[in-house]
């Protein structure tokens, strides 16, 4: 009760304002969902990253999956990050779409890719790529997908994985790509209006990078900022995402 009377004094009112401001900052930075991965006891971290994969085993998907199994065992991996375009050509239609098992569960069958490993749970962290958006993007985020395969962990369209020495910031880059905007193939539910979504995402990422105390801060997206390959540089990311990365480089 004494605290209430204290707040009547101007000095306490100022202090109260400072506290309110601090709380707001914490809230803004907390917009990106964060999940924690318990690191190995000695603190090391090994991951595999893969993208553009779901092809019902074709296009060498099975061969790559086999090698991932071999390397996964050698490196004693903690988890896998998928950078998106998980199901070709158009994502999955719903959580019971057989394509999910045909392109994921039945392909990544190696022990190292699907079992808890030295008490660490292997989970597949998924960023949505543009081919996932042309299907039912929400189906891949539906918790019901975990009943089909408990590895398939798509927490949100963008989210953070804290893993001890490293924080991974998985960023949904598809909405940045302007040529997708007016293409009726894309499922923008829970994303539109796009400019607001992008502004918030950039702010949330900036806040989260600033707050992160991990030694390594690794930002993961589907579209490359710079690339010498077919698609080339992604000008929208050069303009909007690169400055956030540069501003948070120590």
Which residue ranges make up the site for ligand NAG (CB under 6 A)? 31, 33, 59-60, 63, 93-94, 96-97, 156, 158, 178, 181-182, 226, 232-233
Q: What angle do CA 165, 223, 235 make, to 5 degrees?
A: 115
Q: How far is the CB of 117 from ligand NAG (least distance, A)?
A: 26
* Closer residue to ligand NAG (CB): 121 or 202: 202
222 is catalytic: no
| Between 106 and 233, CB nearer to ligand NAG | 233
- The CB-of-62 to ligand NAG minimum distance in angstroms stands at 8
- Pair 111, 69: CB distance under 8 Å: yes
Nearer to ligand NAG, 215 or 231 (CB): 231
Cα 157 from Cα 138, distance rounded (Å): 9
Q: How far is the CB of 145 from ligand NAG (least distance, A)?
A: 12
Cα dihedral 157/162/165/170 (nearest 10): 0
Shortest separation between residue 63's beta carbon and ligand NAG, angstroms: 6
Contact (Cβ atoms closer than 8 angstroms) between residue 220 and residue 83: yes
Q: Which residue in the list 37, 131, 223, 231 is annotated as catalytic?
A: 231
Around Cβ 180, how many Cβ atoms within 10 Å? 16
- From the list 141, 171, 168, 173, the residue with the least C-alpha distance to 154 is 141
Residue whose CB is less far from ligand NAG, 83 or 234: 234
Distances (CA, A) of 172 to 112, 116, 159, 177, 187: 27, 27, 9, 11, 13
Active site residue ranges:
231
């Amino acid at each position: 009760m004494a605290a209430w009377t204290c707040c009547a004094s101007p000095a306490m009112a100022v202090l109260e304002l400072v506290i309110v401001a601090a709380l707001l900052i914490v809230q803004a930075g907390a917009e990106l969902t964060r999940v924690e991965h318990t690191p190995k006891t000695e603190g090391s971290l090994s991951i595999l990253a893969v993208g553009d994969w779901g092809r019902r085993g074709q296009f060498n998907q099975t061969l790559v999956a086999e090698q991932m199994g071999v390397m996964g065992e050698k490196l004693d991996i903690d988890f896998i990050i998928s950078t998106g375009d998980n199901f070709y050509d158009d994502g999955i239609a719903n959580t019971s779409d057989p394509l999910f098992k045909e392109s994921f569960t039945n392909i990544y069958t190696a022990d190292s890719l699907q079992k808890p490993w030295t008490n660490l749970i292997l989970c597949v962290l998924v960023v949505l790529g543009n081919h996932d958006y042309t299907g039912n993007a929400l189906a891949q985020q539906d918790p019901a997908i975990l009943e089909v395969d408990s590895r398939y962990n798509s927490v949100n369209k963008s989210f953070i994985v804290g893993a001890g020495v490293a924080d991974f910031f998985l960023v949904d880059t598809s909405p940045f790509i302007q040529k997708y905007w007016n293409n009726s193939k894309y499922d923008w539910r829970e994303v539109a209006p796009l400019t607001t979504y992008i502004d918030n995402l950039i702010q949330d990422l900036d806040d989260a990078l600033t707050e992160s105390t991990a030694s390594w801060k690794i930002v993961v997206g589907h579209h490359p900022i710079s690339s010498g390959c077919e698609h080339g540089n992604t000008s929208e990311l050069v303009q909007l995402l690169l400055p956030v990365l540069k501003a948070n480089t120590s």
